[in-house]
C-alpha cells in the first residue's frame, strides 16, 4: 500500500512547486495513519499486515485528494510547528519550518530586552493560524503577545489554536493573546488603546510575498492555500511596504520589526525598510542558507533629528 501510494504521489506531484511534494513516502504514511486510526509507529511495526476494506476506501479517497494537490496538513487538519500541533484549514497558510527562524529571532530579542523596565508587548501581523504569536506566547509566557489578520476565517483558526495550546490567563484585555481584525496594522492603534495595551516593542510578520506571476503559476496548478496569504503584488512586497510605513510609526524608539521574505527579495526588502525609516537592518538565513528574515530597528530619533 505504502509503496504504491508513494509512486502515485511522486508521479502526480512531479511538477509541484519546490517544498510541497518532497516527502511522498511520509505523506503516504500519514494518510494511512489517518485512514486506519493507527499511529505511524504501529503501522511501521505492522508492514506485513493487510489493510481492511473500509480503511482502504478511506485511504484511496485521501490519496486522491493529495494527488490533486491538497496538502496533507489540510487533510489531517493539523500541522506541527515548533513542537506543537496547530489546527489548520484552507482559510490559513500551512505553517512552514522556515518560519521557525522568525520565531527564534523574536525570542532572542525578547530575551535581550528582559531587563528593560515596563511591560513588553509583541504584536504579530498577518497572524493566520496564530503559529508565530501563540508559539512565542507559549515559549515566553511573561510577555504580552497579540495578533491580527484581515481575514475573519483565519482569526477563527487562530482563536481555536489559542484555546487548544495556551492556558487561560489574565491580561488587560481579558485574553491570553488578544486577536483582532486588521488590514496590516490599520486597526492596531485603536485596538491597543481600547485594550489598554502598551505600544508593541516588537512586531513580527510573515506577510504574503509571492509575486503575481508566482501566484498565478500556483493557481494554475490548483494550489489550495488562500490567495490573501500568498500574493504580494508585482514584486511580492506590496504589503511589506505598507507594513514598514505603519510599523515605524507604531513602534517606540528602538523597537524591532521582523519580517519573513522570499529568498530573492533581500535587497529590495532591505531598501523598503531603510526608506521607511528603519536602521540596523540585519538579514538572517534559514537552515538551507537562504535569506529569510529581515530584522530592523527603529532609530532612537527620527531621521530629521526630531525627538520622539
pLDDT tens across 49-75, in order?
999 999 999 999 999 999 988 899 999
Q: 146 and 56: one domain? A: no
Residue numbers of the domain that contains 168:
97-297
Question: Do residues 51 and 150 share a domain?
Answer: no
Query: Looking at 11, 42, 76, which one is the last position of a domain?
Result: 76
Q: Does the residue 303 lie in any domain?
A: no
Q: How many CB atoms lie within 10 A of CB 96?
A: 15
Residues 194 and 245 reside in one and the same domain:
yes
Instruction: Judge contact between 293 and 283, C-beta under 8 A.
Output: yes
Number of domains in the chain: 2
Burial (Cβ within 10 Å: 0-12, 13-18, ≥19) of residue 127: buried
Give the contacts of 79 (CB within 8 A, at least 6 positions apart).
73, 85, 86, 88, 94, 95, 129
CATH number, residue 67: 1.10.8.10
Residue 308 in any domain: the answer is no
Q: Are residues 169 and 40 in the same domain?
A: no
- pLDDT at res. 306: 43
Supply the pLDDT for residue 16.
66
Q: Three-state SS for 205?
A: strand
Q: Does 307 map to a domain?
A: no
Same domain, 32 and 150: no
CATH number of the CATH domain containing 127 = 3.40.50.150
Query: Are 192 and 113 contacting, i.e. CB atoms less than 8 angstroms apart?
Result: no
Q: Strand, coil or helix: what is 9?
A: helix
**Strand 179-181's sheet: what is its strand order?**
179-181, 144-149, 121-125, 202-205, 256-260, 291-297, 279-285
Greatest alpha-carbon span in the chain:
75
Residue 211 lies in a domain: yes
| Domain boundary residue, one of 46, 76, 106 | 76
User: pTM for the whole thing?
Assistant: 0.90
115-141 pLDDT, tens digit per residue, is 776 689 999 999 999 999 999 999 999
Q: Do the domain assignments include residue 66?
A: yes
β-pairing verdict for 84-87 and 78-81: antiparallel
If you average pLDDT over residues 219-245, what whole number do you get?
A: 93
Q: Is 6's pLDDT higher than 50?
A: yes
157 with 22, same domain: the answer is: no
**Both 105 and 207 in a single domain?**
yes
Looking at the structure, tell me whether residues 180 and 275 fall in a common domain: yes
pLDDT at 169 over 80: no
Taking the alpha carbons at both ends of the chain, their separation in whole angstroms is: 65
Residues 147 and 286 in one domain: yes
pLDDT tier for residue 301 given thresholds of 50, 70 and 90: confident
Which segments within the chain are labelled E, that is strand? 78-81, 84-87, 121-125, 144-149, 179-181, 202-205, 256-260, 279-285, 291-297
User: Is position 54 within any domain?
Assistant: yes
Cα separations in angstroms, 39 against 21, 29, 164: 22, 10, 21
Are 179 and 250 members of one domain?
A: yes
Same domain for 27 and 160, yes or no, is: no
Residues 278 and 158 in one domain: yes
Amino acid at each position: 500500500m505504502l509503496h504504491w501510494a508513494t509512486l502515485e504521489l511522486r508521479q502526480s506531484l512531479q511538477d509541484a512547486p519546490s517544498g510541497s511534494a518532497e516527502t511522498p513516502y511520509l505523506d503516504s504514511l500519514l494518510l494511512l495513519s489517518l485512514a486506519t486510526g493507527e499511529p505511524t509507529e504501529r503501522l511501521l511495526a505492522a508492514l506485513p499486515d493487510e489493510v481492511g476494506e473500509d480503511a482502504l476506501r478511506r485511504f484511496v479517497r485521501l490519496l486522491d485528494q493529495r494527488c490533486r494537490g491538497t496538502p496533507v496538513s489540510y487533510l489531517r487538519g493539523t500541522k506541527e510547528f515548533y513542537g506543537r500541533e496547530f489546527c489548520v484549514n484552507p482559510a490559513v497558510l500551512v505553517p512552514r519550518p522556515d518560519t521557525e527562524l522568525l520565531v527564534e529571532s523574536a525570542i532572542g530579542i525578547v530575551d535581550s530586552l528582559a531587563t528593560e523596565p515596563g511591560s513588553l508587548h509583541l504584536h504579530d501581523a498577518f497572524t493566520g493560524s496564530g503559529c508565530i504569536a501563540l508559539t512565542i506566547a507559549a515559549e515566553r509566557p511573561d510577555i504580552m503577545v497579540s495578533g491580527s489578520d484581515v481575514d475573519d476565517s483565519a482569526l477563527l483558526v487562530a482563536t481555536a489554536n489559542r484555546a487548544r495550546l495556551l492556558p487561560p490567563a489574565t491580561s488587560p484585555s481579558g485574553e491570553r493573546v488578544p486577536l483582532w481584525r486588521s488590514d496590516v496594522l490599520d486597526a492596531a492603534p485603536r485596538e491597543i488603546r481600547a485594550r489598554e495595551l502598551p505600544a508593541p516593542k516588537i512586531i513580527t510578520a510573515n506577510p504574503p510575498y509571492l509575486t503575481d506571476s508566482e501566484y498565478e503559476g500556483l493557481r494554475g496548478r490548483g494550489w489550495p492555500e488562500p490567495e490573501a496569504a500568498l500574493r504580494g503584488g508585482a514584486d511580492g512586497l506590496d504589503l511589506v511596504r505598507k507594513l514598514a510605513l505603519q510599523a515605524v510609526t507604531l513602534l517606540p524608539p528602538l523597537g524591532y520589526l521582523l519580517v519573513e521574505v522570499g529568498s530573492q527579495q533581500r535587497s529590495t526588502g532591505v531598501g523598503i525598510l531603510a526608506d521607511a525609516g528603519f536602521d540596523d537592518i540585519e538579514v538572517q538565513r534559514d537552515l538551507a542558507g537562504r535569506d529569510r528574515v529581515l530584522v530592523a530597528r527603529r532609530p532612537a530619533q527620527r531621521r530629521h533629528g526630531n525627538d520622539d
